[in-house]
C-alpha cells in the first residue's frame, strides 16, 4: 500500500523590507550627495536599550557576504542577514517633525517599545 502526500500551496512571503515614498526620496538624495555617493545604506539590528533591540544604520561600500540585498523604488538597501528574521515585512519611512527628522520603521514583528522609543522587542 502506498500513500501519496500532496503538498500544500506555499504562501508568498512578504518582502523583507520596503521603502515609503518619503524614505526613498531622502535615501536617493543621500545616495547622490557628496559624502555618501557610491555607498549603500546597511540596516542591522543590535542588542541595545531598555527593550533589548535597536535599529542600526551604517554605510557600506558594497554588499558583504552577510548582507541581503533589497531593491525597492529603484534603490538598493542592504540588510544584515542576522537581522532578517526581525525585519520581515518592515517598511522604512522618513519623518520630519518640529525638532527632528530621521528614518523610522514600521515593523509588524515588534511586540513593544521602550518609553523613549529607542529600542524594541519581538
Domains annotated on the chain, with CATH? 17-108 (2.60.300.12)
pLDDT tens profile 64-120: 999 999 999 999 999 999 989 888 899 999 999 888 888 988 888 776 665 555 656
User: What's the DSSP call for residue 49?
Assistant: T
| Structure confidence at residue 36 (pLDDT) | 76
Grid coordinates given for 31: 545616495
Cα torsion at 97, 101, 103, 107 (round to 10°)? -30
| Structure confidence at residue 86 (pLDDT) | 85
Length of the chain: 122
Strand 52-60 relative to strand 67-72: parallel, antiparallel, unpaired?
unpaired
| Structure confidence at residue 68 (pLDDT) | 93
pLDDT tens profile 18-64: 999 999 999 999 998 877 788 999 999 887 666 577 888 999 999 99
With cell 523590507, the residue in question is: 17
Amino acid at each position: 500500500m502506498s500513500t501519496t502526500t500532496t503538498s500544500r500551496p506555499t504562501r508568498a512571503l512578504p518582502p523583507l523590507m520596503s521603502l515609503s515614498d518619503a524614505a526613498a526620496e531622502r535615501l536617493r538624495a543621500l545616495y547622490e550627495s557628496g559624502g555618501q555617493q557610491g555607498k549603500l545604506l546597511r540596516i542591522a539590528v543590535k542588542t541595545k536599550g531598555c527593550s533589548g533591540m535597536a535599529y542600526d544604520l551604517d554605510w557600506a561600500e558594497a554588499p558583504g557576504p552577510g548582507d541581503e540585498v533589497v531593491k525597492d523604488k529603484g534603490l538598493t538597501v542592504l540588510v544584515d542577514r542576522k537581522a532578517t528574521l526581525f525585519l520581515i515585512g518592515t517598511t522604512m519611512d522618513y519623518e520630519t517633525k518640529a525638532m527632528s527628522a530621521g528614518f523610522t520603521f514600521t515593523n509588524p514583528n515588534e511586540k513593544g517599545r521602550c518609553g523613549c522609543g529607542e529600542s524594541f522587542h519581538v
